[in-house]
Amino acid sequence: MVIVMGPDAAPADIEAIVETIGAAGGEAFVSRGVSRTIIGLVGDVAQFSALDLRGMRGVADVMRVTAPYKLVSRDNHPERSTIRVGGVPIGPGTVTLIAGPCAVETPQQTLEAAEMAKAAGATLLRGGAYKPRTSPYAFQGLGEAGLRILADVREQTGLPIVTEVVDAHDVELVASYADMLQIGTRNAQNFALLQAVGGVGKPVMLKRGMNATIEEWLMAAEYIAQRGNLDIVLCERGIRTFETATRNTLDVSAVPVAQRLSHLPVIVDPSHSGGRRDLVLPLTRAAIAVGADGVIIDVHPHPEQALCDGPQALVDGDLDELARVIREFPPLVGRTAAGDALASA
């Protein structure tokens, strides 16, 4: 950390800080400039954070210089990680397509969506049995019945399944069915839930909070990692901005930025960020081009009857183009589509 003293800080103010830091087991280096004095702190940052350094006499600003996350940081783990979900890799060499219905509604709808997904090149099936909805009057998902449908469809299609968990106390149940647990954007700082998925032996896909900075997103991942689970895939899904033409604003820059700060894979959700079917394919292309390790996409056999987010689901006519994008774009960024990676394995 660095403490910047105000222009009117007295020598005694500076001494007081040096003593406080020393008492906390750290060391303070004082650099006296013409108009300002700067004090560099060396030691355990977590300990310094608890001190009210900003409240001390003469202090103008306190700045952190190291990342507050450790386990997910690339500082100590320079090589980018590959996470395997039921054998399917998500990582720097591939582009993984995860697709399926937003919500599991019926066995028939889920199977049809899974077959659409597979035909487009998907190697993992998404589908929600527990749906966090803004309105208490909206469809909240089928619960365990939905998990059973997903398990049946996995049986029929061979696609491992990714599904959301919304309550810490459902984690074991959901993990008993799922190949990968999903934490949604509204739970991105539900720390009880993050800790719970940290204690279970299944990979986790962590969506970025729609209001989370990249640093907060990595801190949320650190919560999971700190409980012993490092099989985490980060998912950018749009942030909240002033623009209303799209549901959220897909922050494509976050993909290379997060990949540079963390060794974890980063994928993109082009369906929920825009909230509009006509944006899904352009944003999928942008996601792969910017360097995402995968994309997760809503498909639905009959979106006009969907119980959740029908307006953004891709339909049959879009899937040929999705398949083409998944096939043709990865080589241009030095990757293979995960489907081809499996096929050639």
Tell which positions 39-58 bind a copy of itself, by CB under 8 A.
40-43, 46, 49-52, 54-56
The size of the chain, in residues, is 345
Residue 287 — left, alpha, or beta (φ > 0 → left; ψ -120 to 50 → alpha)? alpha
Residue 85 or 307 having the CB closest to a copy of itself: 307
Stretch that binds a copy of itself, among 68-76, 92-100, 112-120, 153-161 (CB under 8 A): 68-76
Q: Which string of x and - marks every residue 174-203 that binds a copy of itself (by CB under 8 A)?
A: ------------xx-xxxxx-x--------
Cα–Cα dist 132/108, whole Å: 23
**Sites for a copy of itself among residues 74-103 (CB under 8 A):** 75
User: Are the beta carbons of 312 and 272 closer than 8 angstroms?
Assistant: yes
One of 13, 68, 119, 321 touching a copy of itself (CB under 8 A): 68
One of 10, 12, 15, 61 touching a copy of itself (CB under 8 A): 61
Kindly state the smallest distance separating residue 219's Cβ from a copy of itself, in Å: 5
Buried b (16+ CB within 10 A) or exposed e, 260-272: ebbbbbbbbbbbb
**Sites for a copy of itself among residues 204-223 (CB under 8 A):** 209-211, 213-216, 219, 222-223
Number of residues that bind a copy of itself (CB under 8 A): 106
Residue 168 or 342 having the CB closest to a copy of itself: 168
Number of neighbours of residue 173 by Cβ within 10 angstroms = 16
Cα–Cα dist 60/55, whole Å: 9
Instruction: Give the H/E segment covering residue 119.
Output: helix 107-119
Decide if residue 106 touches a copy of itself (CB under 8 A): no
Residue 69 or 88 having the CB closest to a copy of itself: 69
Decide if residue 145 touches a copy of itself (CB under 8 A): no
Handedness of CA 208, 212, 213, 219 (dihedral sign): negative
Decide if residue 132 touches a copy of itself (CB under 8 A): yes
Residue 291, Cβ density class (10 Å: 0-12 exposed, 13-18 middle, ≥19 buried): middle
Kindly state the smallest distance separating residue 323's Cβ from a copy of itself, in Å: 14
The encoded tokens of residue 264 equal 């974890």
Buried b (16+ CB within 10 A) or exposed e, 97-117: bbbbbbbbbeeebbbbbbbbb
Non-local CB neighbours of 137 within 8 Å, separated by 6+ positions: none
Instruction: Give the H/E segment covering residue 237.
Output: none
Kindly state the smallest distance separating residue 161's Cβ from a copy of itself, in Å: 21
Residue 19 or 152 having the CB closest to a copy of itself: 19
Q: What does residue 239 show for φ and ψ, rounded to 5 degrees?
A: -115, 165
One of 23, 65, 201, 345 touching a copy of itself (CB under 8 A): 65
One of 139, 152, 172, 228 touching a copy of itself (CB under 8 A): 139
**Sites for a copy of itself among residues 278-337 (CB under 8 A):** 278-279, 282-283, 285-291, 303-307, 310-311, 328-329, 332-333
Decide if residue 241 touches a copy of itself (CB under 8 A): yes
Stretch that binds a copy of itself, among 32-40, 85-93, 109-117, 119-127 (CB under 8 A): 32-40
Kindly state the smallest distance separating residue 148's Cβ from a copy of itself, in Å: 21
Kindly state the smallest distance separating residue 201's Cβ from a copy of itself, in Å: 19
Residue 110 or 157 having the CB closest to a copy of itself: 110
Residue 251 — left, alpha, or beta (φ > 0 → left; ψ -120 to 50 → alpha)? beta
Kindly state the smallest distance separating residue 100's Cβ from a copy of itself, in Å: 18
User: Are the beta carbons of 122 and 85 closer than 8 angstroms?
Assistant: no
Non-local CB neighbours of 200 within 8 Å, separated by 6+ positions: 171, 172, 175, 181, 229
